[in-house]
Amino acid sequence: MSRFVRCPHCNLPHDAEEDATCPITGKAIALERKRDIERPPVEPVWRMSIPPADVVEMEESPSVTRLFGITIDRKYRVDDMIGRGGMGVVYRAEHIGLGKRVAVKVLLRGHGAGSDAKKRFDREARAAGRLGHPNIVQVFDLGELADGSPYLVMELLEGQALSTRLGIEGALPIGDVCSIVAEVLGALEAAHAGGIVHRDLKPDNVFLTATGGVKLLDFGISKTSDETMSLTRTGAVVGTPYYLAPEQARGERNIDHRVDLWAAGVLLFECLTGMLPFAADNYNALLAKILTGRPTPPSQIRPSIAPELEQVVLTALAFDAADRYGSAAEMRAALLEAKKAPSPLAPGVDDVIRQGARMREDLSISGESPTLDLHAAGYEEHPEGDEEDPTEVSDSFVFSDVPRPPATLPDYEGEPSIEVDFELPPDFEAS
């Protein structure tokens, strides 16, 4: 019978009759009798094609690079995978010398030197690494695996993405929204001061930590002010479509920090209303809305929004960049001032509106017909469409099956008429 020995380096079983060294790490296997495993002559559980590097790609998922149990550059011991995307995988790891928990992001094999993915990966590391700010994810290290796959080491975050919270709650409490977006604007202020435009601000790239902090992620398509060439060809649109400023939608090359302020306005609108200011079921229709439509005043969707806060949203979403805030600092100051403004509705009514809207959405997803109407609270209803959400955008656009209700009224004139009824709970008391 074959004798299998568990390798102390990669933690996988290898045939002791054939392998004196680990085929994965290239290190000697210590043949300790107490670790020997007697097994029948069958194929190992893992059927693998071993590359000449630290990397093992499993046949069951060839697009995913797995590094479980591997030590990178004799410093970072990889424990498990915590996330993956189209271009990279993120692992939970530990710095052996410091005992510090970190996240290691590895670019998938196939995105080699010279590729756009590799350039964006390097850009993310450089941009985040040079910006020491409490609201920007920290990058500690950058390197390459033995097979040439680049990796970067970042702080390990515990919590959830803003997109996750929006998916659970829909529209968020107004105070929370102002605090979250204010911290995002603080991060943008630091980035802009460093000559960096993020260009891809969206809920997926805003992380809410378990300790109540906010972190801005993913500077992969950011642009520095001294760059003369874009990572994409002339006229290509870079960013996530729903958060594109008009000048980005037109494919202009000479954009500046005000595209980030537009995206912050979209983020603010979405967190306040649970809707997007511009949405469509295909890319061309979406661009047309961004370039020709007008966002619905958010108070028409959520009447508890104070006029001062609504003005912050609409200023950020001004079609002409010159009509937006001049800086992230200016927008942040206006937002924090607007946060102090009282709601036009009685205390407690906003919670009822949020609960009713969420219940209506849940019932809609389940196929039931909701009967909630919100006239008594001053709530104005807008029809939900079949709009979808893109996952990621560069030169091509992919729309997923996540429904996103529209909030655009291209021909908005005055207050649209609506007749709705609303029944408050028996124990509700407005003070």
pLDDT tens-place string over residues 24-37: 566 676 544 334 43
Predicted local distance difference test score (pLDDT) of residue 239: 52
Predicted local distance difference test score (pLDDT) of residue 330: 98
- Same domain for 85 and 177, yes or no, is no
- Let me know the angle formed at the C-alpha of 83 by 78 and 86, rounded to the nearest 5 degrees: 115
210 lies in some domain: yes
193 lies in some domain: yes
Predicted local distance difference test score (pLDDT) of residue 350: 84
pTM, rounded to two decimals: 0.66
350 lies in some domain: no
200 is catalytic: yes
Run of H or E including 48: strand 48-49
Q: Rounded to whole angstroms, how far apart are CA atoms 7 and 195? A: 48
Q: Rounded to whole angstroms, how far apart are CA atoms 322 and 26? A: 59
Q: Rounded to whole angstroms, how far apart are CA atoms 159 and 151? A: 23
Predicted local distance difference test score (pLDDT) of residue 403: 41
DSSP assignment string, 254-317: ---THHHHHHHHHHHHHHHHSSBSS--SSHHHHHHHHHH--BPPGGGT-TTS-HHHHHHHHHHT
Domain boundary among 155, 170, 203: 155
- Same domain for 269 and 123, yes or no, is no
Number of domains in the chain: 3
Q: Which residue is it, tokens 């990796």?
A: 151
Q: Give the chain's largest Cα–Cα span.
A: 84
- Same domain for 239 and 330, yes or no, is yes
- Same domain for 38 and 128, yes or no, is no
328 lies in some domain: yes
Q: Rounded to whole angstroms, how far apart are CA atoms 213 and 135? A: 7
Q: Rounded to whole angstroms, how far apart are CA atoms 259 and 420? A: 38
Predicted local distance difference test score (pLDDT) of residue 419: 36
Size of the chain, expressed as the number of residues it contains: 431
**Higher pLDDT among residues 130 and 420, named by residue:** 130
- Same domain for 83 and 124, yes or no, is yes
121 lies in some domain: yes
**Higher pLDDT among residues 354 and 144, named by residue:** 144
Predicted local distance difference test score (pLDDT) of residue 251: 85
pLDDT higher than threshold 80 for residue 418: no
Predicted local distance difference test score (pLDDT) of residue 379: 35
- Same domain for 115 and 81, yes or no, is yes
Which amino acid is present at 140? F
- Same domain for 17 and 81, yes or no, is no
- Same domain for 218 and 278, yes or no, is yes
pLDDT tens-place string over residues 349-395: 888 777 766 655 555 444 443 333 333 333 333 334 333 333 333 32
pLDDT tens-place string over residues 173-184: 999 999 999 999
- Same domain for 179 and 283, yes or no, is yes
291 lies in some domain: yes
- Let me know the angle formed at the C-alpha of 48 by 46 and 49, rounded to the nearest 5 degrees: 175
145 lies in some domain: yes
302: CATH: 1.10.510.10
DSSP assignment string, 103-121: EEEEEPTT--TTSHHHHHH
Which amino acid is present at 397? F
Q: Which of 200, 218, 260, 350 is catalytic?
A: 200
pLDDT higher than threshold 70 for residue 5: no
- Same domain for 260 and 391, yes or no, is yes
Q: Rounded to whole angstroms, how far apart are CA atoms 58 and 204? A: 28
Nearest Cα to Cα of residue 154 among 210, 222, 85, 217: 217
143: CATH: 3.30.200.20
Q: Rounded to whole angstroms, how far apart are CA atoms 298 and 295? A: 8
pLDDT tens-place string over residues 45-95: 333 333 333 443 433 333 345 677 788 888 999 998 888 766 778 899 999
Write down the mean pLDDT value for the chain: 72
Predicted local distance difference test score (pLDDT) of residue 93: 94
Predicted local distance difference test score (pLDDT) of residue 230: 39
**Higher pLDDT among residues 108 and 369, named by residue:** 108
Predicted local distance difference test score (pLDDT) of residue 301: 93
Q: Rounded to whole angstroms, how far apart are CA atoms 63 and 40? A: 31
pLDDT higher than threshold 60 for residue 18: no
375 lies in some domain: no
- Same domain for 200 and 107, yes or no, is no
Q: Rounded to whole angstroms, how far apart are CA atoms 382 and 171? A: 14
Q: Which of left, alpha, beta for 26 (phi over 0: left; psi -120 to 50: alpha)? A: left
Domain that holds residue 85: 65-155
- Reading the block at residue 430, the tokens are 């407005």
Q: How many CB atoms lie within 10 A of CB 308?
A: 15
- Same domain for 168 and 310, yes or no, is yes
